[in-house]
Amino acid sequence: MGPIYDKLRFSEIIAAISECREKVKEIRKCPSKINELVCHIEQQLKYIEKGFDQYSELFRNAVQGVFISSIEGKLIDCNPAFARMLGHESPEEIIGMSDFVANHYYNPEDRDVMIQILNEKGFFINKETRLKRKDGTDFWVLGNIRMTEKYSGSPLIAGIAIDISNRKKAEEKLRQSEEKYRRIVETAGEGFLLMDQGFQIVEVNKAYLKMTGYSREELLGKSPIDIADNQFRRFLIANMDDFINQDYRTLEGKVVRKDGRNIPVLIHGNTLRDSQKNAIGHVAFVVDMSEQKKALSLAGEVQKNLLPQKSPDIPGLEVAGKSISCEEIGGDYFDYFFGPEYMQEPLSVVVGDISGHGVDAALLMTTARAFLRMRASQPGTASNIVAEMNRHLTLDIFETGRFMTLLFMSFDPENSRISWVRAGHEPAFLYNPETDLFEELQGPGVVLGIDEDTEFVENHYSGLSSGQIIAIGTDGIWEARNKSLEMFGKKRFKEILRQNAHKNAKTILESVFDQIQDFQSEFKAEDDLTLVIVKIV
């Protein structure tokens, strides 16, 4: 029997002890061989002593605490690590301590539970126990303990203890953090949804239950799609693949309460990922937009009433216009100037577009409309009107970083003539069905609201003929996108004008909006849509 890597295995030491016992038996049977057997035993004892020194060194220098105690709780032996763990300088301070349980167990009842488990199973693994140090401070240990009677003749408890105080503190801090955020989520005014990878609801807060009228049990296991209204449901299903691949998403829609009422909501959602960036679930905060939508809807009605309510009746012209906001209110604008209070041509058409959309764009549009209508009723050319409007707007919106594009076009059907001022706006289209040619009515001019001293040029076109179509729109028309982010484009727009050129202006206008709606399908518009069609008749 020899050492392995110069270290004796404990099993070899036990084997050597057993061999000594056998030699002692031989001495008793055959006294004549005593000298030979004693020499052999001495050799084995040296081997055993070397082994025990080796394992004693491991015992003394182990990082983990090692201890042996009686079944009654008296500490029989321990290593320095265990003593230091309990706040003592050396094992001698606590070995033989009869009141060890009272001095060092935070809850002495814990040891009774431990003894019960040992009596039933003989061991336990990774049991967490709260102990006390010499100074009274508490800490946590992870114990692996076994009951044994093999060498003592009476039950002993031997074990290893690992100080896990830092881990427990971290766990407690994490638990407190989780509890804190759970309370925040539970008491939040916004609805909260926690979903698995398949968007099935696994947790909701009180605000969402109140918003929808359902109980927690009724919602768990469902998908938000299940309580969306028909239009929002189609939108969610059509875009689900995109949502899965997005880390963050913001969308608006409507959910159906348990009582059948539709609730407009704003949803901020994001994907939860593990440390390897794998998706493990989704969360969403849901805001009830009912009151905001009511206010915006009222504002939208007011804004619609500011747009022309009917088309002008001008001999030689058919006129139709329409504006659709991507939100309840928008920043697009169109208007007609005709009648005795306007001293320009028989008809002037203006189409404008405030940068951006929403409430602030709508307010700026309303301001621009009021000034333009006032100024257009006074003497002056179209370039004078636009220049003065630019000076007025620059004072109002220069600091905001916003601007406005505008196209002001005047019609003189009696003389087959048009004139226009273009302030950074998209050119109007002139289509002649006889030649099947499109012409863009260009012209210089920068946007309004940037430089108050800008001068604007008036452009002219003569020789209008019956059947020609003039289309003035905002960029939201041809920049409308579908689910694949493909643009509607000017080519499609021109084709609609070509195919419907024989129809009246209103029918042409509605054909454009119908085909844009079909093109976008369930994809939400990102910009306002405004178009005016003027047909020469």
- How many whole angstroms separate alpha carbon 251 and alpha carbon 54? 70
Equal fold, 65-169 vs 188-288: yes
Question: Which 3 state secondary structure label does DSSP give 387?
Answer: helix
Alpha-carbon distance 174 to 467, whole Å?
75
Q: What is the pLDDT of residue 459?
A: 95
Output the six-digit token pair for 385. 């009107």
Confidence of residue 168 (pLDDT cuts 50, 70, 90): confident
Q: For the chain, which residues make up each domain, given as ranges? A: 10-61, 65-169, 188-288, 303-536
Q: Per-residue b/e over 198-215, b at no fewer than 16 CB within 10 Å?
A: ebebebbbebbbebbebe
pLDDT of residue 240: 81
Tell me the pLDDT tens digit for each residue of 334-379.
Answer: 999 988 887 667 899 999 998 877 777 788 888 888 888 888 888 8
What tens digit of pLDDT does each residue of 247-296 get? 888 888 899 999 999 999 999 999 988 888 888 889 999 999 888 877 77
Helix axes 359-376, 382-397, angle to 10 degrees: 140
**pLDDT tens figures, 54-72:** 556 667 778 889 998 888 8
Q: What is the mean pLDDT of residues 435-459?
A: 91
- Residue 311 vs residues 303, 374, 511: alpha-carbon distances, Å: 17, 20, 17
Q: Is 80 exceeded by the pLDDT of residue 158?
A: yes
* DSSP count for the chain of H helices, then E strands: 15, 20
d(CA 286, CA 268): 7
Lookup: tokens for 359: 């409430």
CA distance 143 to 146: 10
Average pLDDT over residues 16-38: 63
Q: Kindly write down the DSSP assignment for every residue of 287-346, as one continuous string.
A: EE-HHHHHHHHHHHHHHHHHS-SS----TTEEEEEEEE-SSSS-SEEEEEE-STT--SSS
Confirm or reject CATH 3.40.50.12280 for domain 303-536, answering yes or no.
Answer: no
Q: Exposed, middle or buried: residue 286 (CB in 10 Å: 0-12, 13-18, 19+)?
A: buried
| Domain spanning 188-288, CATH architecture | 2-Layer Sandwich (3.30)
In the structure, what pLDDT confidence band is assigned to residue 4 with cuts at 50, 70 and 90?
A: very low
Can you tell me whether residue 35 is helix, strand or coil? Answer: helix
Q: Quick one: pLDDT at residue 3?
A: 32
Name the residue type at position 518. D
- Say yes or no: domain 65-169 is CATH 3.30.450.20: yes
**Whether residue 153 has pLDDT greater than 80:** no
Q: 129 or 521, which is more confident?
A: 129
pLDDT at site 409: 95
Angle, vertex CA 232, rays to CA 478 and CA 196, nearest 5:
120
**pLDDT surpassing 90 at residue 419:** yes
Whether 472 contacts 483, CB under 8 Å = no
Amino acid 7: pLDDT: 41
How far is residue 440 from each of residues 345, 461, 505, measured CA to CA in Å? 22, 11, 19
The candidate with the shortest Cα–Cα distance to 160, out of 93, 82, 76, is 82
CA 95 to chain CA centroid, Å, is: 58
pTM, rounded to two decimals: 0.56
Per-residue confidence band for 397, with pLDDT thresholds at 50, 70 and 90 = confident
Contacts of 512 (CB under 8 A, 6+ apart): 477, 493, 496, 497, 531, 533
Please report the pLDDT score of residue 156 as a whole number. Answer: 87
Answer whether residue 511 shows pLDDT above 90. Answer: yes
Higher pLDDT, 173 or 150: 173
